[in-house]
Chain A
Amino acid sequence: MLRRGIGRSERFRSPARMVGSGRIAIGGSMRFRTRLGVALSLLAFLAVLPLRAPAATEARVVNVYNWSDYIDPEALKRFERETGIRVQYDVYDSLETLEGKLLAGHSGYDVIVPTAQPTLARLIKSGGVQKLDRAKLPHFAGLDPDLMKRVSGADPGNLYGAIYLWGSTGLGIDPRKIAALAPDARLDSWDLLFDPANAKRIAPCGITMMDSAIDVIPTVLHILGKSPDSTDPADLAAVEARLRAIRPYIRNFDNGGAIEEMASGAACLVFDYSGDVIQAKARAEEARQGVTLRYVAPREGAQLSFDMLAIPKDAPHPTEALAFIDFILTPDVMAGITNKVSYPNAVPASRKMVREEIADDPGIYPSAAALAGFFTVGPVAPAAERARGRMWARFKAGQ
C-alpha cells in the first residue's frame, strides 16, 4: 500500500524536477533501490513542489516507469522536445514494487523496465506485457546480438523486450580497510564475503548485504557448484547454512543506502550491483574523505542481469511507448544514459560516445573473457521461489 501511494503521486513529477528532488532527498545518491529512497524523494518533492495539474489539451503522453536514478534527465527533455510527447516519469525501487503493480492490472504505464529474469519472464508468462512491433523500432537492430541472446532464456526470440542497461552483481570493496584487517584474503574471490573466517575479520569495518533473495541465492548456489536455478531443497539448505555462517558478521541489509554506506566509509564490503558500487566510488572520490572503492566481479563468476524496456499489455499509449523505446535505443541517447548512471548499455554504436573512464573500466564493461565466466539465471517455479523467500526471511532475522 505504501509504495503504491508513492508511485502514483510521483507521476506528476516532471523529469527535470524528478532528479532534482531525488538528489535533495537522498543526499546526491544516483541510484537508490530502496523503499526509503523512493519515499524520501517523494516527500522532498511534496514538500517543495505543487502538484502539476494534468494538461487540459489532448497532448500526447507516455507514462514511463523505471528504476529510481536510472536515467539521464537530458534524454527525457530531448525526447519531449523532439517528439512533442510529454513524459510522465515515475520510479520504483524494487522489482517487487513493479511486479505488484503490473500483476494487479491497469497500472497505467506505457513503458516499464523489468529485469529479464525473473520479472520480464514472469510477466511474459502471465500475459502482462505485449510483443514489441519491430517495424516501429528501427534502432532495435542496433542491439548487441550476443547480449540479446543472453536474455533469450527469459524472452525467447527477443519478442517482448529490448535491453536497456545491464550489469553484474558482485562485491564493492574498500581494499585498504580490508587489507588492514585481513591482509591475506584474496580480494577477487567470493570467499572474501562467504568464508566465515574472512567475514569475521572484516566485520569491524562494516559488511552490508543486498536485501534481495533473487540476487544472493543464485550466486551462493553458483559458488557451491550448483546450478543457480536449483530448486532442490537440499541445495537450498546448503545455501542457508553457508549464509547463516556469515550472518553474525553482516551489519546491515541494504534497506536504504548501500551507495551512501560505501561512499561515506560506513561499509567496506558490500554485496551489490556493479553500477551501485561504481556510483559510490565516484561519490567517494568527490568527497575526498580517503575512502577508496573498487567493484569486483569475483573470479568464480558473477550473475549478469539485464534490465529490459517493455510495454505492458494494457498500456494506454502503446504508439508513444514504441516511440520512446526507439528514441532510448538511439546510440547517442544511450551513451548519455550510460555516462550518467555508469551502467553499460547494449548498443555497441554508443561505445565511442561513452566517456573513457566508463568505457575502459572493466568493472563496467567487462572483457569478453570475463563475460564468459558470468552466469545468468533461469526461471524458478513459484513453490521453490516461496521456499527461497522463506529461507531469506529466516536468514535475515538470524533465527
Chain B
Amino acid sequence: MRGTVLGPVWAWLLAFVGLPAIVLAVIALAQPADGVPPYELGAGFDDLATVFTDPYYRDAFLASLRVSAICSALCLLIGYPMALAIARSAPARRPLLLLLVMLPFWTGFLLRVAAWVGLLRDDGWINAALLALGVIDAPLPLLHTDGAMIVGIVYAYLPFMVLPLEARLARADPALEQAAADLGAPPWRVFLRVTWPLSLPGVAAGLVLVFVPVMGEYVIPELLGGPGSMTMGRVIWTELFDNHDWPMAASLALVLTGLLLLPALALRAAPPNRA
C-alpha cells in the first residue's frame, strides 16, 4: 500500500532528478570535441579532478557560498519579523497578508530582476532621485556591484523564507507563550525560550529554500552583479557557452549538486517536529 502511494514520488525523482544526474555524469566523463553536440563519450576523470584542484573553480564555489550565506542570513533577518507579524495577525487578515507576500510571483521573475536594473542604473530612479534632491553630485555606481546582486537575490528569495516560517509560527500553540509569560518570563525570554525553538523547523526549511537555489543562481549575478562576482552559475555558463566545454560544465554542475545535498541531509537530520 505504502509502495503504491510512494510510487509516483519515486517515479518523479527518477525522471527529474536521477536521469538528469546520470546524463550530467555521462557528459562530465566525456571529452570536448568539434561536433554536434560538442563532446565525445569517454571515461575521463580529469574535469572532475580539475573542479577540486583548480583555484578558479574553488574561488567561484567560495564566492557562491559567501553570497548564499549572506543572502540566507538577510532573508532570515527580514523574513522572521514579517512571518511573525503575519502569523499573529487577525485570522481574517492572514490570507490577505500571505497573498501580498506571494503577489510578486504574479510577475515574471526576469521582469522583476530587470526592474532592479531600471532602479539601480546610473540614470535610474534611485540616482535620479538622489541627484534631484541634491544628496549627491554624480550618480552612485549602484548597478553591477555585489551590493546590487545581494539586494536582488534577497528581494527575489524573501517569499521562500517567509512562507515556511509563517506556516510554522502560525501552527505553534499560543497557550505555550501565554504560559511562559504568566510564569514571569519577559517578552524577549518568551521569544528565545519558546517562540524561536518552536519555529526552528520553519527556519531550517526557509534557509534551505533560499540557500540551495542561490548557490546555483545565474540570472541575478549576471544582470545585477559586477564582473568580479563570478559565482558558480556564471562559471558554469562560461564553460558551456563561451568555452564550449560541456564536460567541464557538467562536472561543475554535478559537483555543485552533490555538495548541495549536504544541507538537505542536514535538514533531515535536524530535530524532528515536536509541536
Asked if A223 lies at the interface with its beta carbon under 8 angstroms from chain B, I say no
Complex Cα spacing A282 to B46, Å? 51
Query: Do B35 and A127 touch across chains, with their CB atoms under 8 A apart?
Result: yes
Within 8 A of A (CB), among B216-258: 218-219, 222-223, 227-228, 230, 238, 240-245
Contacts of B168 in A (CB 8 A): none
Interface-centre pick from A36, A97, A104, A393 (highest chain B CB count, 10 A): A393
Contacts of A96 in B (CB 8 A): 241-242
Segment among A40-48, A73-81, A232-240, A346-354 that sits at the interface with chain B: A40-48
Query: Do A99 and B241 touch across chains, with their CB atoms under 8 A apart?
Result: yes
What is the chain B residue whose CB lies nearest that of A255? B144
Complex Cα spacing A102 to B243, Å? 14
Query: Do A47 and B111 touch across chains, with their CB atoms under 8 A apart?
Result: yes
Query: Do B34 and A125 touch across chains, with their CB atoms under 8 A apart?
Result: yes
Contacts of A397 in B (CB 8 A): 227-228, 230
Complex Cα spacing A382 to B38, Å? 11
Asked if B173 lies at the interface with its beta carbon under 8 angstroms from chain A, I say no
Decide yes or no: A43 and B108 within 8 Å by CB, A105-B37, A253-B227 being known contacts.
yes
Q: How far is the CB of A132 from chain B (nearest CB, A)?
A: 19
Complex Cα spacing A104 to B23, Å? 14
Asked if A179 lies at the interface with its beta carbon under 8 angstroms from chain B, I say no
Complex Cα spacing A251 to B226, Å? 11
Asked if B69 lies at the interface with its beta carbon under 8 angstroms from chain A, I say no
Asked if A390 lies at the interface with its beta carbon under 8 angstroms from chain B, I say yes
Query: Do A382 and B32 touch across chains, with their CB atoms under 8 A apart?
Result: yes
Query: Do B241 and A313 touch across chains, with their CB atoms under 8 A apart?
Result: no
Q: Name the contact of A100 in the complex, choosing from B117, B227, B228, B240 (C-beta under 8 A).
A: B240
Contacts of A264 in B (CB 8 A): 123
What is the chain B residue whose CB lies nearest that of A104? B37
Decide yes or no: A43 and B114 within 8 Å by CB, A126-B36, A385-B243 being known contacts.
yes
Query: Do A390 and B219 touch across chains, with their CB atoms under 8 A apart?
Result: no
Interface string of A27-67 (1 = CB under 8 A from B): 00000000110011001001100000000000000000000
Asked if B177 lies at the interface with its beta carbon under 8 angstroms from chain A, I say no
Query: Do B36 and A266 touch across chains, with their CB atoms under 8 A apart?
Result: no
Within 8 A of A (CB), among B3-53: 32, 34-38
Query: Do A105 and B114 touch across chains, with their CB atoms under 8 A apart?
Result: no
**Interface size for chain A: under 10, 10 to 19, 20 to 34, or 35 or more residues?**
35 or more
Asked if A2 lies at the interface with its beta carbon under 8 angstroms from chain B, I say yes
Query: Do A389 and B238 touch across chains, with their CB atoms under 8 A apart?
Result: yes
Asked if A252 lies at the interface with its beta carbon under 8 angstroms from chain B, I say yes
Contacts of A35 in B (CB 8 A): 222-223
Query: Do B227 and A103 touch across chains, with their CB atoms under 8 A apart?
Result: no
Query: Do B123 and A396 touch across chains, with their CB atoms under 8 A apart?
Result: no
What is the chain A residue whose CB lies nearest that of B139? A266
Number of CB contacts from chain A to chain B under 8 A: 82
Query: Do B37 and A39 touch across chains, with their CB atoms under 8 A apart?
Result: no
Within 8 A of B (CB), among A370-399: 382, 385-386, 389-390, 393, 396-399
Asked if A128 lies at the interface with its beta carbon under 8 angstroms from chain B, I say yes
Query: Do A103 and B38 touch across chains, with their CB atoms under 8 A apart?
Result: yes
Q: How far is the CB of A44 from chain B (nearest CB, A)?
A: 9
Query: Do B32 and A396 touch across chains, with their CB atoms under 8 A apart?
Result: no
Contacts of B108 in A (CB 8 A): 43, 46
Contacts of B114 in A (CB 8 A): 36, 39-40, 43
Query: Do A313 and B222 touch across chains, with their CB atoms under 8 A apart?
Result: no
Q: How far is the CB of A147 from chain B (nearest CB, A)?
A: 26
Complex Cα spacing A399 to B219, Å? 22
Asked if A210 lies at the interface with its beta carbon under 8 angstroms from chain B, I say no
Decide yes or no: A266 and B122 within 8 Å by CB, A36-B114, A126-B34 being known contacts.
yes
Decide yes or no: A43 and B110 within 8 Å by CB, A103-B36, A128-B36 being known contacts.
yes
Within 8 A of B (CB), among A177-236: 211, 213
Query: Do B243 and A313 touch across chains, with their CB atoms under 8 A apart?
Result: no
Asked if B105 lies at the interface with its beta carbon under 8 angstroms from chain A, I say no
Asked if A1 lies at the interface with its beta carbon under 8 angstroms from chain B, I say yes
Asked if A122 lies at the interface with its beta carbon under 8 angstroms from chain B, I say yes
Complex Cα spacing A50 to B38, Å? 36
Decide yes or no: A36 and B241 within 8 Å by CB, A1-B218, A122-B34, A399-B228 being known contacts.
no
Contacts of B218 in A (CB 8 A): 1-2
What is the chain B residue whose CB lies nearest that of A398? B228
Query: Do A313 and B238 touch across chains, with their CB atoms under 8 A apart?
Result: no
Q: How far is the CB of A46 from chain B (nearest CB, A)?
A: 7
Query: Do B117 and A36 touch across chains, with their CB atoms under 8 A apart?
Result: yes
Complex Cα spacing A192 to B237, Å? 33
Q: How far is the CB of A269 from chain B (nearest CB, A)?
A: 16
Q: Name the contact of B35 in the complex, choosing from A126, A386, A396, A398 (C-beta under 8 A).
A: A126
Complex Cα spacing A390 to B243, Å? 9
Contacts of B222 in A (CB 8 A): 2, 35
Contacts of A251 in B (CB 8 A): 141
Q: Name the contact of A97 in the complex, choosing from B32, B117, B241 (C-beta under 8 A).
A: B241
Asked if B56 lies at the interface with its beta carbon under 8 angstroms from chain A, I say yes
Q: How far is the CB of B223 from chain A (nearest CB, A)?
A: 6
What is the chain B residue whose CB lies nearest that of A46? B108
Contacts of A396 in B (CB 8 A): 227-228
A: which residues have CB within 8 A of B? 1-2, 35-36, 39-40, 43, 46-47, 96-97, 99-100, 102-105, 122, 125-128, 211, 213, 251-253, 255-256, 264, 266, 313, 382, 385-386, 389-390, 393, 396-399
Q: What would be 14 A-B contacts, judged by CB atoms less than 8 Å apart? A: A35-B222, A36-B117, A46-B108, A100-B240, A103-B244, A122-B244, A126-B35, A127-B35, A127-B36, A382-B32, A385-B243, A389-B238, A389-B242, A396-B228
Q: Which 8 A-B pairs have the closest CB atoms?
A: A396-B227, A96-B241, A397-B228, A126-B34, A100-B241, A125-B34, A105-B36, A103-B38
B: which residues have CB within 8 A of A? 32, 34-38, 56, 108, 110-111, 114, 117, 122-123, 141, 144, 218-219, 222-223, 227-228, 230, 238, 240-245
**A43-B111, A211-B227 given; 20 more Cβ-contact pairs under 8 Å:** A36-B114, A36-B117, A36-B223, A43-B110, A46-B111, A47-B111, A96-B242, A99-B244, A103-B37, A103-B38, A128-B36, A255-B144, A256-B117, A264-B123, A266-B122, A266-B123, A313-B36, A382-B243, A389-B238, A389-B242
